[in-house]
Amino acid sequence: MHLDPAIKRRTFFRFAGMSAGLAALSRLRLPAMATAEEPPPAGSRALRVLSEQDARIMVAIADRITFTGDPAMPRFRDTPGLVTIDTALLQLPPDVPQQLHVGLLLFEYGPPLFARRWSTFTALGAADQDAYLAGWEQSRYEFRQLAFRAVKNLALLGYYAQDATWPGIHYGGPWAPRPRRVVVGGADS
Amino acid sequence: MIRKGREIDADVRLTAEVCVIGSGAGGAVVAKELAEAGRDVVLLEQGGYFTKEDFTQREDEMMPLLYEDMGQRSTVDRSVIILQGRSVGGSTVHNLCYCFRTPPPILEKWRREDGLRDLSVEDLRPSFERVERMLKVKPIEPHEVNALNNKIRDGCERLGYHGFVTNHNREHCTQSGFCLLGCPFDAKQSMLVTYVPAADRAGARLYADCAVRRIVAAGGRVTRVEGHVADARGRPHHDLRVDAGLVVLSAGAINSPQILLRSGIANSSGQVGRNLHLHPSILLSGVYDEDIYGYRGIPQSYYVDEFIDLERDPDSGYILMPVYGFPVMTASQIPGFGREHFEVMRNFHRMVGILVLMHDQSSGSVTLATDGRPAIAYRVNQPEQRLFVEGMRHCAEILFASGARRVLVPYARPLWLSPGDSLDLIDQRGVKPLDIPIASTHPQSTCRMGEDPRRSVVNSYGQSHDLKNLFVCDMGMFPSSLGAPPQISTASLADRTAHYIAANWGRLAG
A125 falls within a domain: yes
| Sign of the Cα pseudo-torsion (B51, B53, B55, B61, in order) | negative
Q: Tens digit of pLDDT for each residue in A32-73?
A: 455 655 655 666 668 999 999 999 999 999 999 999 999 999
Q: Between A and B, how many CB-CB pairs are < 8 A?
A: 155
Residue B371, pLDDT score: 76
| Residue range B283-299: mean pLDDT, rounded | 97
Q: Choose from A129, A136, A166, A175 for mutation: most chain B CBs within 10 A.
A: A175
Q: Is the pLDDT of residue B38 over 50?
A: yes
- Which secondary-structure segment (H or E) carries B440? strand B438-440
B189 falls within a domain: yes
**DSSP code per residue over B415-430:** EEE-TT--THHHHHH-
CB contact under 8 A, A65 and B371: no
Q: Report CA B228 to chain centroid distance, whole Å.
A: 25
Residue A22 pLDDT grade (very low, low, confident, very high; cuts 50, 70, 90): very low
B176 falls within a domain: no
Candidates A88, A145, A146; nearest CB to B70: A88
CB contact under 8 A, B342 and A66: yes
Residue B214 pLDDT grade (very low, low, confident, very high; cuts 50, 70, 90): very high
CB contact under 8 A, A172 and B296: yes
A187 falls within a domain: no
B375 falls within a domain: no
CATH number, domain containing residue B44: 3.50.50.60
| Residue range B186-208: mean pLDDT, rounded | 98
Asked if residue B294 and residue B194 are part of one domain, the reply reads: no
Asked if residue B317 and residue B269 are part of one domain, the reply reads: no
Helix residue ranges, H only, A28-160: 52-65, 81-90, 95-109, 126-137, 142-160
Count H helices and E strands in chain B, helices first.
13, 21
Asked if residue B449 and residue B426 are part of one domain, the reply reads: no
B179 falls within a domain: no
Neighbours of A44 (CB within 10 A): 20
Q: Which amino acid appears at position B68 of this protein? A: E
Asked if residue B496 and residue B468 are part of one domain, the reply reads: yes
- Kindly state whether B325 is in contact with chain A, defined as any CB-CB distance less than 8 angstroms: no
Q: Tens digit of pLDDT for each residue in B330-345?
A: 999 999 999 999 999 9
Candidates B174, B336, B345; nearest CB to A169: B345
Q: Return the half-sphere exposure (C-beta side, CA atoms, 13 A cut-off) of residue B23.
A: 37
Of residues B413 and B192, more confidence is placed in B192
Q: Cβ neighbours of residue B3 under 8 Å, at least 6 residues apart?
A: B205, B206, B207, B208
CATH number, domain containing residue B342: 3.30.410
What is chain B's Cα-based Rg? 22
Per mean pLDDT, which of A20-24, A38-42, B102-106 is the most reliable? B102-106
- Kindly state whether B78 is in contact with chain A, defined as any CB-CB distance less than 8 angstroms: yes
| Sign of the Cα pseudo-torsion (A120, A126, A128, A133, in order) | positive
- Kindly state whether A25 is in contact with chain B, defined as any CB-CB distance less than 8 angstroms: no
Asked if residue B156 and residue B119 are part of one domain, the reply reads: no
Residue A182, pLDDT score: 78
pTM of the model: 0.93
ipTM of predicted complex: 0.93
Domain count, chain B: 2
Show the CA angle centred on residue A148, arms to residues A146 and A149, nearest 5°. Answer: 65
Q: End-to-end CA distance of chain A, in Å? A: 21
Measured between alpha carbons, how far is residue B504 from residues A70, B34, B39, B183, B247 in Å? 68, 12, 12, 37, 14
Residue B56, pLDDT score: 97
Residue B446, pLDDT score: 98
Asked if residue B340 and residue B216 are part of one domain, the reply reads: no
Asked if residue B215 and residue B350 are part of one domain, the reply reads: no
Measured between alpha carbons, how far is residue B411 from residues B194, B336, B360 in Å? 41, 10, 21
Q: Cβ neighbours of residue B56 under 8 Å, at least 6 residues apart?
A: A174, A178, A179, A180, A181, B62, B181, B184
Q: Is the pLDDT of residue A16 over 80?
A: no
| Residue range B61-74: mean pLDDT, rounded | 92
Show the CA angle centred on residue B90, arms to residues B86 and B96, nearest 5°. Answer: 110
Residue A42, pLDDT score: 60
* Cα distance between residue B26 and residue B30, in whole Å: 6
Candidates A65, A149, A169; nearest CB to B346: A169
* Cα distance between residue A111 and residue A118, in whole Å: 7
Asked if residue B502 and residue B452 are part of one domain, the reply reads: yes
Helix (H, G, I), strand (E, B) or coil at B211: strand
B75 falls within a domain: no
Nearest Cα of chain B lies from the Cα of A58 at a distance, in angstroms, of: 15
Asked if residue B147 and residue B110 are part of one domain, the reply reads: no
A59 falls within a domain: yes
* Cα distance between residue B403 and residue B355, in whole Å: 17
Residue A187, pLDDT score: 42
Bridge-partner residues for B264, per DSSP?
A: none
* Share of residues in chain B with pLDDT > 90 (%): 96
Contact B452, B230 (CB under 8 A): no
Domain, as residue range, for A88: 51-165
Asked if residue B398 and residue B317 are part of one domain, the reply reads: yes
B406-409 and B415-417 beta bridge pairing: antiparallel
* Share of residues in chain A with pLDDT > 70 (%): 73
| Residue range A108-129: mean pLDDT, rounded | 96
Q: Which amino acid appears at position B176 of this protein? A: S
| Residue range B419-445: mean pLDDT, rounded | 96
| Sign of the Cα pseudo-torsion (A117, A122, A124, A127, in order) | positive
Q: A52-65 and A81-90 helices cross at what angle (nearest 10)? A: 120
Domain count, chain A: 1
Residue A29, pLDDT score: 42
| Residue range B133-148: mean pLDDT, rounded | 98
Nearest Cα of chain B lies from the Cα of A33 at a distance, in angstroms, of: 26
Domain, as residue range, for B101: 2-70+85-134+185-276+445-509
Asked if residue B124 and residue B151 are part of one domain, the reply reads: no
Contact B389, B427 (CB under 8 A): yes
Neighbours of A189 (CB within 10 A): 12
* Cα distance between residue A148 and residue B20, in whole Å: 41
* Cα distance between residue A154 and residue B421, in whole Å: 34
* Cα distance between residue A171 and residue B293, in whole Å: 8
Helix (H, G, I), strand (E, B) or coil at B321: strand
Residue B205 pLDDT grade (very low, low, confident, very high; cuts 50, 70, 90): very high
Asked if residue B480 and residue B348 are part of one domain, the reply reads: no
| Residue range A147-167: mean pLDDT, rounded | 97
* Cα distance between residue B425 and residue B344, in whole Å: 21
Q: Is the pLDDT of residue A30 over 80?
A: no
A39 falls within a domain: no
B117 falls within a domain: yes
Q: Is the pLDDT of residue A4 over 60?
A: no
Q: Is the pLDDT of residue B5 over 80?
A: yes
Residue B170 pLDDT grade (very low, low, confident, very high; cuts 50, 70, 90): very high
Q: Which of B271, B278, B222, B221 is nearest to B252 (CA)?
A: B278
Helix residue ranges, H only, A28-80: 52-65
CB contact under 8 A, A187 and B233: yes
Helix (H, G, I), strand (E, B) or coil at B236: strand
